[in-house]
Structure 1
Amino acid sequence: MKIINLANRAGVLTLILLFVFQSCSSNNDSTDTPVVITPDKISLQVDVVGKTAEMPNGDGSGKINLKVDAPNAKSYKVVVNNETKEFTTSNFSYEFTQPGTKSYIIDVTVFNGIKYTNTSTTVNIFVARKVIWADEFNTDGAPDAAKWGYDLGTGNGFGNNELQYYTNRSENVKIEGGLLKITAIKENYQGSQYISSRMLTKGKFSFKYGRAEVRAKLPVGGGTWPAFWLLGDNIDTAGWPLCGEIDILESVGNKPDVIHSSLHSPGRSGNTPDTKTTTAPNSSTEFHIYAAEWSEESIKFFVDDNLFYTFKNSSTTPFNAKFFVILNLAMGGNFGGTVDPNFKSATYEVDYVRVYN
């Protein structure tokens, strides 16, 4: 019995020593695990730039400064105007660009490792309309090559069975006396009966959403077909009509003073159902302003700021990407119709082209 007790005592002592050794070893090898605390007491301060009692929604710049106060926060995510921004400082600036006075929700999430807290606020912002691109055509000579390029070749090559050959010759396109003048001339050239010009900002300028307008005086004569329009930047890869087309101004000399505004998209191209007309009295003797205001929600068409057509935009149309600007004067074709046999020349005069935010 004594021998067994001694053995038991030795076993107990061994277990105690082993426990102590393991505890000491564990304490020596371990590192402190940081305690991750969920950020709390989150608060937001939104300063609208230029806000006064007279201008409660800001000075029109569309700028805000946001300050986030959240103890224990290490990083931040802000969702505003369908854009997501991530940063590691508690201060954030943003500039709204869509003109008008609108209400926006700002969602903020603050993180401390994998733990987070979020909140939101609403801000009313006024954004003044401002020019983001323009050509005033104030310098005589050729159009600015930094702003404009040309489509060259036969009208048949551009569809619609048009009769002209497009050139960049000074006889067909020039700036004179503060006006851009695109002139169609009856002349046999490279197998075509007429020459004219088609200029575009492709590869030089394009934009998504905003207002595009031209102040112009239209040409006279049966068969003339002046236009001011927008075409999708991705035309070379997507093709037409998948790229989308926005015709702000089209008119034909066979129906003077009738203004067409149309949209072309897949399944709704060629003789598109998305079109409306209005009149611009004395359009060949007086200047008028032809414009479109384009947003995620709609495309609105105006003559002299009189709204005559609203197209409901949506995520299913191609009208939610960048487009470039085109000015041209075609002759005849499916839309231009029969050319007056006595036609010799006609000029499409443009005072300016402006694109606003």
Structure 2
Amino acid sequence: MKINNLINKVGVLTFILLFVFQSCSSSNDAADDTPVVVAPSNLSVQVEVLGKTADKPDGDGSGKIHLTITASNATSYKVLIDNQLKEIFTGDFTYEFTASGTKNYPIIVSAYNGAQFVSSTTSVNVFVSRKLLWADEFDADGAPNTSKWGYNTGTGDGWGNNELEYYTTRPENVIISNGTLKIKAIKEEYLGSHYTSARLLTKGKFSFKYGRAEVRAKLPVGGGTWPAFWMLGDNIDTAGWPLCGEVDILESVGNNPNVNHSSLHSPGRSGNTPDTATTTVPNSATEFHVYAADWSPESIKFYVDDKLFYTYANAASTPFNQNFFLILNLAMGGNFGGAVDPNFANATFEVDYVRVYN
């Protein structure tokens, strides 16, 4: 009985060993059938700047380049360019830079075959000419163009600044005539407010990311007036202020005439923001001047009549790397506008044009 049991146990053990052996042999056979993925090699990247000549070594201003990429055993490529990652499946790749000026751009190209890859780094100098993206020349008499401008109306509970005006869409407060937009603040009793004015904005109609925004304007006169040309982030309805970011290109107050303030508001730097600077603008109420901001991922530079007076160092951690829309308004009083002259009757913020470039 014991011998039979021993034989049975040996038989079972033999069966198990044979099963394990066969399983291992099957696994090895399957592994042997797996195709070997060969890493790409001999990666070559040729960069052509469109319109490049001896006289125009950085291109014709279009900002376009063409890459010709080759590599042995490559099935796809990834190109990191202008802070964007592009995946392509042929060796031909065209890209258009949009930031105006001449700049050196690094380019990283990786050739892939499955998980295997090889990379190469190069760079290119490209010139991008300034192009007009959007503008209003205010050359048609009547109300502002509704395809370009909307309005904020009412008191807005002082618009967060204890302002005193009621914003309307009436021609008494906003009108285009003789080639300029006129936003007029009036001392009058209107729906519980003592002053009326207007606030125009391009929200939902036009916004942009990076470029140059400028206004040519003549400023109002009178203590308590507060004209402005500024921008807010498109995400204000979801993110709120100041998380959306605010860029004030032109701000001036009648209680301190001929001084332009340019400021930026962001989380932890709202209200009395430290990100601000001023410059003197002689005869700002009797002569037109151009107030502008050049905006890029690296900086926001503020100018009056093309004279740089303030540079803000932009960074990926700020809100100033998304689309922003434009605002034109004339406020009365408030935290920044200050006390209104008791003799104030009316004043006009006159705008020749608003332009946005790449």
Scaled by the length of structure 2, the TM-score of the pair is 0.88
The equivalences for 1:55-74 within 5 A come to: 55-74=56-75
- Deviations for 1:118-176, whole angstroms, at most 9, x for unmatched residues? 21211111111211111111111111111111000115341211111000111111111
Conserved 8 A contact 1:173-1:197: yes
Query: Structure 1: any 5+ residue segments left out of the alignment?
Result: 1-21
State how 1:278-317 maps to structure 2 within 5 Å: 278-317=279-318
How far, CA to CA, are the matches of 1:106 and 1:216 in structure 2? Answer: 41
Q: Render the CA deviation track for 1:50-75: whole Å, top value 9, x for unaligned.
A: 10000000011110011112233211
The answer to whether the 8 Å contact 1:209/1:294 transfers is yes
What whole-Å deviation, never above 9, does each CA across 1:249-294 have from its counterpart, x for those lacking one?
Answer: 1111111111111111122111222211111110011000001111
Q: How does 1:141-290 map to 2 (within 5 A)?
A: 141-154=142-155, 156-290=157-291
CA offset at residue 36 of structure 1?
3.5
Q: Distance in 1 between matches of 2:196 and 2:156?
A: 9
- Is the CA contact (8 Å cut-off) linking 1:164 and 1:193 kept in structure 2? yes
Distance, in Å, in 2 between the alignment partners of 1:81 and 1:319 is 17
Alignment of 1:10-49 (within 5 A): 34-49=35-50
- 2: CA distance between counterparts of 1:302 and 1:200? 22
Compute the displacement of 1:185 (Å): 1.0
> How many percent identity over aligned positions?
71
How far did residue 351 of structure 1 move?
A: 0.8
Is the 2:229–2:251 contact (alpha carbons within 8 Å) kept by the matching residues of 1?
yes
Give the deviation of 1:33 after TM superposition. 5.5
2:333 paired with 1:332: yes
Judge conservation of contact 1:155–1:164 (CA < 8 Å) in 2: no
- Name the aligned partner's letter for residue 197 of structure 2: S
Amino acid at match of 1:99: S
Say whether the 8 Å CA contact 1:216–1:288 is kept in structure 2: yes
For 1:276 and 1:40, how far apart are their aligned partners in 2? 54
| Aligned-partner Cα distance in 2 for 1:137–1:176 | 8
Contact 2:158 2:164 in 1 (8 A): no
1:155 touches 1:161 (CA, 8 Å); kept in 2?
A: no
Instruction: Classify 1:331/1:157 alpha carbon distance in 2 versus 1 (closer, same or farther; 3 Å).
Output: closer
Does 1:78 find its partner at 2:79?
yes
Counterpart Cα distance in 1 of 2:156 and 2:181: 21
Unaligned runs of 5+ in 2: 1-21
Letter of the aligned partner of 2:276 in structure 1? Answer: T
The answer to whether the 8 Å contact 1:172/1:182 transfers is yes
Aligned to 1:8: none
Partner amino acid, structure 1, of 2:162: N
Contact persistence 1:39–1:71 (CA under 8 A): yes
Cα distance in 2 for residues equivalent to 1:174 and 1:66: 51
Query: Aligned equivalents of 2:49 and 2:212: distance in 1?
Result: 24
Amino acid at match of 1:288: H
Provide the rounded CA distance (Å) in 2 between the counterparts of 1:254 and 1:35: 78
State how far apart, in whole Å, the 1-side matches of 2:333 and 2:280 are.
Answer: 21
Q: Secondary structure at the match of 1:251?
A: strand
Residue 227 of structure 1 and its aligned partner are, at CA, apart by 0.2
Could you tell me whether the CA contact under 8 Å between 1:223 and 1:336 is conserved in 2?
yes
Partner Cα separation in structure 2 for residue 250 and residue 75 of structure 1: 51
The answer to whether the Cα contact below 8 Å between 1:39 and 1:112 also exists between their aligned partners in 2 is yes
Deviation at 1:39, TM superposition (A): 2.3
- 1:303-354: CA deviations, max 9, x gaps? 1011111111222222122211000000111211121222221111111111
Structure 2 counterpart of 1:18: none
Q: Does 1:341 align with 2:331?
A: no
- C-alpha contact (below 8 Å) 1:155/1:163 kept by paired residues: no
Whether contact under 8 Å (1:42, 1:117) holds in the other structure is yes
Does the Cα contact within 8 Å between 1:173 and 1:183 map onto a contact in 2?
yes
2:66 partner amino acid: N
Query: Is the Cα–Cα contact under 8 Å of residues 225 and 331 in structure 1 kept in the other structure?
Result: yes
Q: Equivalents in 2 of 1:42, 1:171: separation in Å? A: 67
CA distance in 2, matches of 1:260, 1:175: 26
Alignment coverage as a number of residue pairs: 331
Q: AA paired with 2:57?
A: P
Question: What SS does the corresponding residue of 1:153 show, helix, strand or coil?
Answer: coil
Residue identity in the other structure for 2:334: G
**In the alignment, what sits opposite 1:355?**
356
